């Protein structure tokens, strides 16, 4: 009987010792590595079998690439181009804006080095993003600017400007007359626009791409600019035409909602059936590559006075 008690006590002691060792590893510091090679390292801080320092074993891998700093002049040129061509959709901090995705968390941008992956998207367009006539040097400069952001927590990478109202309102009035007045009027469709959109940044993004606040495809809705929807007509044969609001279109299908609210989808094979799109935002899209940075700021500074 005494032998059984002794054996039980010995078993309990071993269990307590094992539990203490595990608790020390979980709650306290990691247990000291074993000496003598193998998977452990000696007490002198020697590396594990792969030659890395002990600290590197426990270090978490970097979530984003740590890029070397670019030429400040190149970054500054990229910032200027980005401000004109990209800011309205992707935001001043590259974290996304009026419909454009977050560039700092984009896998394509993360894998890009000097604009080689960004270039095809910029030059050819993608989805609702129109193509931009930028040369490889300009795109590389934009890439340098985007890559200059320190990607980490939200506050680390956010760069919200104090104010975007840095333009000349008088010059902006002339820009409006030259580039906008043929379609818009500050006493007509844009009357009181600054009272409806009180945030200057939202106002700037809004006039650059009015359908941005209304979702993909320029379908209006939430946009304070009251953009009419993009419509499409599909001709399937002589005298057979179906018209409605465009829902989706690609190389293989076109989907619309007709006047009765019924959704219809047609398969596409090249130009068959014939598809005609009426995009009310086309004039705005055509103007996007033509604005200068100064014109954008001047026009915004003018529009905030229309109350």
Paired strand residues for 83? none
Residue that the structure tokens 């510091």 belong to: 29
d(CA 140, CA 137): 5
d(CA 300, CA 99): 20
Q: Quick check: 258 and 242 in contact, CB under 8 A?
A: yes
What residue ranges of the chain have pLDDT lower than 50? 1-3, 5-62, 155, 213-222
7 located within any domain: yes
- Residue 51: other Cβ atoms inside 10 A: 8
Residues 292 and 216 in one domain: yes
Residues 188 and 139 in one domain: no
Residues 263 and 173 in one domain: no
- Residue 184: other Cβ atoms inside 10 A: 15
- φ/ψ of 277, rounded to 5, equals -110, 135
Which of 157, 180, 205 is at the close of a domain?
157
Residues 187 and 85 in one domain: no
pLDDT of residue 153: 53
pLDDT of residue 31: 41
Helix (H, G, I), strand (E, B) or coil at 241: strand
Count of domains in the chain? Answer: 4
d(CA 304, CA 237): 50
* Cα of 262 vs its chain's centroid, Å: 33
d(CA 90, CA 159): 13
* Cα of 133 vs its chain's centroid, Å: 20
Q: Quick check: 67 and 61 in contact, CB under 8 A?
A: no
Indicate the average pLDDT of the chain. Answer: 76
- φ/ψ of 258, rounded to 5, equals -85, 180
What are the pLDDT digits (tens) for 187-205?
Answer: 998 999 999 888 888 888 8
pLDDT of residue 48: 39
- φ/ψ of 256, rounded to 5, equals -140, 165
164 located within any domain: no
- Residue 168: other Cβ atoms inside 10 A: 15
Q: Are strands 231-237 and 274-278 parallel, antiparallel or unpaired?
A: antiparallel
Length of the chain: 307
Residues 106 and 199 in one domain: no
pLDDT of residue 83: 86
Range of the domain at 143: 72-157
129 located within any domain: yes
Q: At how many degrees (to 10) do helices 293-303 and 169-179 cross?
A: 100
pLDDT of residue 66: 74
Specify burial of residue 38 (Cβ count, 10 A radius: 0-12, 13-18, 19+). Answer: exposed
Residue that the structure tokens 């529009």 belong to: 303
Strands across the sheet containing 231-237: 263-267, 253-257, 240-249, 231-237, 274-278
Residues 94 and 110 in one domain: yes
- Residue 246: other Cβ atoms inside 10 A: 21
Residues 180 and 297 in one domain: yes
Which of 114, 134, 157 is at the close of a domain?
157
């Amino acid at each position: 009987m005494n032998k059984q008690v002794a054996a039980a006590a010995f078993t309990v002691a071993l269990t307590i010792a094992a539990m203490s060792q595990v608790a020390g590893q979980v709650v306290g510091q990691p247990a000291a590595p074993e000496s003598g090679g193998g998977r452990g390292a000696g007490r002198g801080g020697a590396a594990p079998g792969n030659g890395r320092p002990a600290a590197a074993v426990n270090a978490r891998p970097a979530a984003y690439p740590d890029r070397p700093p670019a030429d400040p002049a190149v970054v500054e040129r990229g910032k200027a181009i980005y401000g004109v061509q990209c800011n309205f959709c992707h935001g001043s901090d590259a974290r996304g804006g009026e419909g454009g995705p977050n560039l700092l968390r984009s896998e394509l941008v993360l894998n890009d080095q000097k604009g080689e992956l960004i270039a095809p998207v910029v030059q050819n367009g993608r989805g609702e993003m129109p193509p931009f006539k930028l040369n490889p040097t300009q795109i590389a400069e934009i890439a340098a600017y985007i890559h200059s952001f320190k990607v980490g927590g939200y506050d680390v990478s956010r760069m919200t400007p104090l104010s975007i109202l840095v333009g000349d309102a008088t010059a902006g009035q002339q820009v409006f007359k030259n580039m906008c007045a043929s379609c818009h009027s500050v006493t007509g469709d844009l009357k009181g626009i600054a009272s409806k959109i009180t945030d200057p940044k939202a106002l700037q993004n809004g006039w650059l791409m009015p359908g941005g606040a209304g979702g993909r495809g320029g379908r209006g809705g939430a946009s304070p600019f009251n953009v009419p929807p993009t419509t499409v007509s599909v001709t399937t044969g002589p005298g057979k035409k179906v018209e409605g609001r465009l829902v989706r279109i690609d190389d293989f299908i076109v989907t619309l909602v007709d006047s009765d609210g019924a959704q219809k989808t047609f398969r596409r094979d090249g130009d068959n059936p014939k598809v005609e799109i009426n995009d009310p935002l086309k004039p705005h899209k055509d103007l996007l590559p033509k604005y200068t940075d100064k014109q954008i700021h001047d026009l915004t500074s003018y529009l905030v006075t229309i109350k």
